[in-house]
Amino acid sequence: MIGFWSMAVGISLFKLLLLPSYKSTDFDVHRNWLAITHSLPVRKWYFESTSEWTLDYPPFFAWFECLLSQFAVLFDPEMLKVENVDYRSYATILFQQLSVIVTDLVYVYGVKEFCALFVSKTRKSSEKEDILQSPVIYQGRNMSAAFWFATLLNFKHIYLYIAPAYFVYLLRCYVFQSNEEGRIKWRSFSILRLIGLGIIVIAVFTLSLGPFIILNQIPQLLSRLFPFKRGLCHAYWAPNFWAMYNIVDKGLSVTGTRLKLFSVKNITTATMTGGLVQEFDHSVLPSISPIITLILSTVSMLPSLFILWSQPKGVQSFVRALILCAFGSFMFGWHVHEKAILMIIIPLSLLAIDEKKDAQIFLFMSTIGHYSLFPLLYTQFESPIKICLLVLTTLFNFTSLANVHREAWSYTSLPLLSTIESIYLLGVIPLELYSSIGHYILGLNHTLPFLPLLLTSVYCSIGVIYCWIKFYMLSYSDKPKYGKQH
């Protein structure tokens, strides 16, 4: 593990080199949360609205911010005053960046445990079955898995997207058992195991929500966690189905207005292409409500959950269902944040080493998915950093997986990908050149300021939708090999 720790130290040092270069788009958000949790009593946390960046994460994360604030005061006490909106001293920026680097050690530990598990398994078996999963679930520690996932939900509720996969897997493969053919043994139902899981989950949520239940603030807390008035799409469009839906509606409204083909009910000045967090009505296509997004997200998950329930084939089937749940919620969810695409890419990486076809999807998805995050780092000063990081990461991914699956580089396509897939990925080069340079040379940054954002979102949406369909077909048509059930 010496090489692993050397890499971890190297990455941390690299982050330290970047300290003066940029700050996150969420900088003001977290500074305000530090101030709220440090300066105000708990009963006011989810009511405070001096800044537009109100506290909208679950209680565990709020307490985590409160803990960080005890160290923040040593850097600059002024950052912890709620009324200091848009406060950005150098000490504040330094603290926020250092807090990220330090807390990243949690991920370093997780990667270390996974790598140790991988090495241990490969030394014992010539096959790589069941090694590429969540280490806790792979080790059969289902109760621990329930505890940590419940805890995770109370840090960040975005993980509700993948909760159905956890629920179905634990119920099917822990509360019930299977016979030799993989069919469920109904008489194997264990009430004790079900009660055990329930106690763990209820205990975690009670610890998290208990103070706010006592304060009779659950409705207020839920209104902050699920702000449906923020609109269908996030400020920067996530590359999903709704990005395509919006652009089709915009195209129809413009075409219909100019050609007078039909009456457009709600013509406004590019409301949905303005890159702002707001509610809007579609001009031609039916407007979308939160309940519609919930129904579509649920329907998109059901096939994967049904297969996980009826034909579980080891914990790898759980990982596939988890990815498809994340895919479905990303594709059709309400107010989806672009960063939610990482919930797809990260678990996909666990499958990429084992199966060649999974590696193909991972390489395609990771490249286009990470590129779709570029609008979050929007200043020209940050462009060299994000471009270099994407290039280095992509080269590493392609080179490593090409070696693992013994795939050679060619002149007609990228390793493991088809010619068409390769051409599509390479298309981000002219797109980025236009977004970073051409748009300004043409002087369109004043008349059409959000055109690069629009083009990036729509272009990446095509690739994400393609990966979603291909992964669904791969998971339940080609029937890749699975490991033994635990």
Tokens of 316: 């790898």
- For residue 41, tell me if it sits in a domain: yes
- Identify the domain boundary among 273, 288, 303: 288
Closest alpha carbon to 324 in 475, 457, 171: 475
CA–CA dist 242, 47 (Å, integer) = 31
Please give the pLDDT value at position 421: 96
Residue for token digits 């462009």? 383
Q: How many domains does the chain have?
A: 2
- For residue 368, tell me if it sits in a domain: no
- For residue 344, tell me if it sits in a domain: no
Please give the pLDDT value at position 76: 94
Say if residues 435 and 329 touch (Cβ distance below 8 Å): no
**Cα Dmax for the chain:** 71
Say if residues 464 and 341 touch (Cβ distance below 8 Å): yes
Q: 443-463 in b/e burial notation, b at 16+ Cβ within 10 A?
A: eeeeeeebbbbbebbbbbbeb
Tokens of 177: 């058992």
Closest alpha carbon to 358 in 479, 449, 225: 479
- Identify the domain boundary among 103, 127, 147: 103
Q: How many helices (H) and strands (E) would you count in the chain?
A: 21, 2
- For residue 44, tell me if it sits in a domain: yes
At a CB cut-off of 8 Å and minimum separation 6, what does 200 contact? Answer: 143, 146, 147, 150
Exposed, middle or buried: residue 374 (CB in 10 Å: 0-12, 13-18, 19+)? buried
Residue by residue, pLDDT tens for the chain (486 residues) are 566 777 778 888 888 877 776 667 688 999 999 999 999 999 999 999 999 899 999 999 999 999 999 999 999 999 999 999 989 898 998 999 899 888 888 888 877 777 776 666 554 544 444 433 455 666 668 899 999 999 999 999 999 999 999 999 999 989 998 877 778 888 889 999 999 999 999 999 999 999 999 999 999 999 999 877 777 887 668 899 999 998 898 888 888 777 777 655 545 444 454 444 455 677 788 888 899 999 999 999 999 999 899 888 777 889 999 999 999 999 999 989 889 999 999 999 988 988 899 999 999 999 999 999 998 887 777 888 899 999 999 999 999 999 989 888 888 899 999 999 999 999 999 999 999 899 989 999 888 888 898 999 999 999 999 999 999 999 877 554 444 444
- Identify the domain boundary among 259, 288, 317: 288
Please give the pLDDT value at position 283: 78
- For residue 148, tell me if it sits in a domain: no
CA–CA dist 484, 320 (Å, integer) = 15
Q: Which residues pair with 177 in a beta bridge?
A: 185
pTM (two decimals): 0.87
> Domain containing 282: what range?
229-288
Q: Which residues pair with 217 in a beta bridge?
A: none
Sign of CA pseudo-dihedral 298, 300, 301, 306: positive
- For residue 311, tell me if it sits in a domain: no
Give me Rg for the CA atoms of the chain.
Answer: 24
- For residue 218, tell me if it sits in a domain: no
- For residue 32, tell me if it sits in a domain: yes
Please give the pLDDT value at position 128: 41
Q: DSSP label at 227?
A: -
Give the 3-state secondary structure of 244-304.
HHHHHHHHHHHHHHHHCCCCCCCCCCCCCCCCCCCCCCCCCCCCCCHHHHHHHHHHHHHHH
